[in-house]
Structures are given as C-alpha cells and as structure tokens.
Chain A
Amino acid sequence: MQASGAKVGVLALQGSTRLHVLALAELGAEPVEVRRPVDLAGVDALIVPGGESTTLALLVDSSGLRPALEDRLAEGLPVLGTCAGMILCATEVLDGRADQAGLGAVDIDVRRNAFGRQRDSFEADLDIEGMPGGRFPAVFIRAPVVTRAGPDVEVLARLAEGPVLCRSGAVMVAAFHPELGGDLRLHQSFLERI
C-alpha cells in the first residue's frame, strides 16, 4: 500500500500522541487516535508513542485494548513503537513494575530508564542501517535499551549500551523519539512498508 492515504492509528492514551499525529499528517497519511478497541477497526498500521510506560500499560488494560491489540498483532498489523512504545511492544521488561507485561509484538527484552534520569537524557546522531540521507538526529529521553534481541530481530542501530532501533517483520521499535527531532525519515520508512 502507498504511504499516502494509509489510515494509521496512534495510541492516544497518554504521551506524545499529538506529535506523531502531526508527523503522519505531514507525510500524507491519515492519523486515527486510538483510545478504545473500536478505534482499531480499519487502521492499516499503529504507532505506539512515547510517554510513561507504566501509565500506558495500565490504560491499555483498563480500556480493553490489550486483547484487541493482541488480535491485530497476531494478524501482522504493522507497528511503530517509540521509547515507551518500544517497552510496550517488548516481550520482557526489566526494571519495570512487577505487573508490567509487554505485548510481545517483537521478540526483545528491554531495560527501562537504561541511560538514567532526565539529566542523562541526550541527543545523538545515529547511523541507521539502510537509511539514506546521513545520520539520524535521535532524541533519547529517560530511554530504554534492548538487552536481548531474538533471532528474527534485525538491529538497525545501536549505541555502546545496546541496540536502540530494531525491526522484526512489520514491527519497528525505537528507544528514541523520531517524533521530536524534526526529521521524518523514520516515519517515512515505516509508512513505506505498510
């Protein structure tokens, strides 16, 4: 499917939903805010934004979205998860709350707040495999890191601490915030694969 006109859901429970909606609109996709299971009907792809992963996990459960998301994921729904979204898509969450279960959309384990607190948040230019146009300005805010990537997971970018951008099938997860950096190449490459 062409990126232009694709209906892309953005999880709108908490976090940087607004910025992803702006990015999608700029690229000609049709953003759809997802708060309830019914909102997932008819979306061609989904973005799980940055935010607070403990809050997001709790609201995914209370809104009844978890089973609906699991069903769509099993059907191969393309998903882009950024920061908290990466944590939500993971299989195993380290340093999270005991009851914090990932959706298992991609076979990775992640460590929350792996780089430290806000004072350790940073911007860095990343080499991303297969991305034209030079290094990518990546914004890491209280960011997670991947501690284990399964055999089917491609690591597209890494820092000394571990992988920070991974892809497996239709699911791409980033430890950083492409919605904050003013560079839409990552959104573009996600839309191109829908």
Chain B
Amino acid sequence: MATSNESSRDQANESTGEAGYRPLTGTLRLKRGLAAMLEGGVVMDVVDADQAKVAEDAGAVAVMALERVPADIRRHGGVARMSDPAMIEAIKAAVTVPVMAKARIGHFAEAQVLEALGVDFIDESEVLTPADEAHHIDKWAFGVPFVCGATTLGEALRRISEGAALIRSKGEAGTGNIVEAVRHLRAITGDIRRLSVADPAERYEWAKRLPAPIDLVTEVAEAGALPVPLFCAGGIATPADAALVMQLGARSVFVGSGIFKSADPPRMARAIVEATTHHHDPALVAKVSRGLGEAMPGLEVSTLDTRLADRGW
C-alpha cells in the first residue's frame, strides 16, 4: 500500500524526465537514504544561529531549528507552532549540516511552508500543539523526508504507512527524564522481536491488534527491523543516557533541552556525540562524562500536567 503510493510519485518523476536528462528527486530511496546517513549521530535542538554553530562544532549530524526547546515550551504553555521562517533561514545560513524543523501534527500547510524553505527533514512533532486530532500529514505528498514520533510498534508502522522516512521513539520531551524514552524503545524493539518469531498465520492478528497495515507487519516480521531507521528522542540529558538508548537499539539520538539547558552546552554536546558513537565503550563514556557540570534540571513524569507523548494517533 505504502509502496504503491510512492511508486506513483516515482513514475510521475520519470515521465517528466522523458524529454531530456532529468534525475529523480524526492524518492523513497532518497528520503530513507538521508535517514540512514544520520545513523550513529546526534541531532540537536537549536533556537538560533549561535546555538546551531555550537552544535555543528560539537559534531551534530543535523540541527533541529525551533523557537523554544521543549523544556521552555512546557513552561510557557499556550499553543506551540512552527518556527518563524526568518529564524529557520538564519540557521540554514549558519551551518553546513542538514537542518530539520518541526510542523504540528496534521498541519500539512506548515509542512508545505517548511518544504518551500528548503529544510532537509520535517519533524511532524508532538512537541508542538496538534492541529488535527484524527489525521497525521500525508507525507507521501512531499519530496522532503519526514520523521515522526512513536511510543509503540503500531504507531511507528502507521507513521511509516503515511510516508515517514524515519521514526524516533517519543520519550517525554523537555523533562530530562529518560524513563519514557526507555519505555517506548523497549515497547517497539520488544514487539519487533516477538513479531519476528511469530507464526506467519499470527501476523494478521498482529495487524489487527497494533493496528497497522498487514504489508508493513509482514515486512517487519521478515526483516526483524523497521523498514526505516529507529532513533530515540525525549529526555536524553547525559552521555550515559545516550549510551543507554543506543544499546537498547536506537541508531541515533535527538537531544532537545539536554544540551542548551545544561551548565556547559559545548562540552555537553561534544560528550553526547562521543558517547553515542562509542556507546559500547564504558571507559570512554566515563571519560567524556567527567566534570561536565550540571545536566538540565529534571522533571518527574508523574507530576506533569501535559504528557506530550499522548499526542499522535
């Protein structure tokens, strides 16, 4: 189902190419390909060009341009929307690494604006206030790749069926508390493992229970992995947090408030980059964790008024 939508886009691409040499753009392979190039890396939230430079200097594989980091969105309350295009453009001009930006869940017009601005990846994000309480963006309609959050395997596969090229476990953004990220990663990877050993006849019941399209359920069962990379987001505040989620099966990490709400952002950023790459080397994680100063202030999840991870359907 998902694939046929994409191939119609590819065919449209090809037919425009008949008159002369014109390469294919915006294909599934290019979208998932960029996601694969970000593996083993750290995507950092930044609110201005200066922070973007700090992130790039520290070795970020990409930056996420947004007006307020999740910890501040949580504090501010109100409606959180797509960032000012001028701010996104300033960040694009400041760095050479890929630039991502967030659109509200279901807000395809914000996504159209971000695509027109030439951002490299769009995050359809629960950190912003949802615009549609039933539908996510039809991501097949875009040439730019999308990343979406998920708390379960079913949610991940529904986002992939809508065209997401990258999945991140949601965690609970802006808390500096890793517990929800661990819960979501374990839920997703645990179900992938169980599905991959299930009898083929049981896949139909899996599809009903998740719920998710049977062709994607079959694909995951046979490959033992999602058809797109799985990254981790939401609550990563230390190098050891990054090492933890990488060992739990994440292929990269998104760090939001954890860097620029810490005592020494350049050093914290660099330390999380090193710990992500060398997550199997505890001596190295110990070395980079030494003397970093205060991590961001943390929040107990049971005390939260708003649980961002509940947004998404």
A residues bordering B, Cβ < 8 Å?
A: 12-19, 35, 50-52, 54-55, 58-59, 62-63, 83-84, 95-97, 112-113, 117-124, 139-142, 177, 180-181
> Chain B residue with minimal CB distance to A118?
B120
By DSSP majority rule, is chain A's interface helix, strand, loop, or mixed? Answer: loop
Residue contact B60 to A55, C-beta cutoff 8 Å: yes
Q: Give the A-B contact count at a CB cut-off of 8 A.
A: 118
Residue contact B40 to A119, C-beta cutoff 8 Å: no
Q: Is B27 in contact with chain A by the CB < 8 A criterion?
A: yes
Interface string of B129-150 (1 = CB under 8 A from A): 0000000000000011100000
Residue contact B24 to A123, C-beta cutoff 8 Å: yes
B residues bordering A, Cβ < 8 Å?
A: 23-27, 29-30, 33-34, 36-41, 56, 59-62, 96-98, 115, 118, 120-121, 143-145, 251, 273-274, 277-278, 281
CB distance from A159 to the nearest CB of B (A): 9
CB distance from B65 to the nearest CB of A (A): 13
Residue contact A122 to B37, C-beta cutoff 8 Å: no
Pick from A12, A62, A139: contact of B29, CB under 8 Å: A139
Residue contact B118 to A119, C-beta cutoff 8 Å: yes
Residue contact A120 to B25, C-beta cutoff 8 Å: yes
Pick from B33, B39, B56: contact of A14, CB under 8 Å: B39
CA distance A121 to B41 in the complex (A): 20
CA distance A123 to B251 in the complex (A): 25
CA distance A26 to B299 in the complex (A): 47
Residue contact A123 to B96, C-beta cutoff 8 Å: no
CB distance from A14 to the nearest CB of B (A): 4
Assess A118 versus B23: contact at CB under 8 Å? Given A52-B37, A141-B30.
Answer: no
Residue contact B120 to A51, C-beta cutoff 8 Å: no
> Chain A residue with minimal CB distance to B92?
A117
CB distance from A178 to the nearest CB of B (A): 12
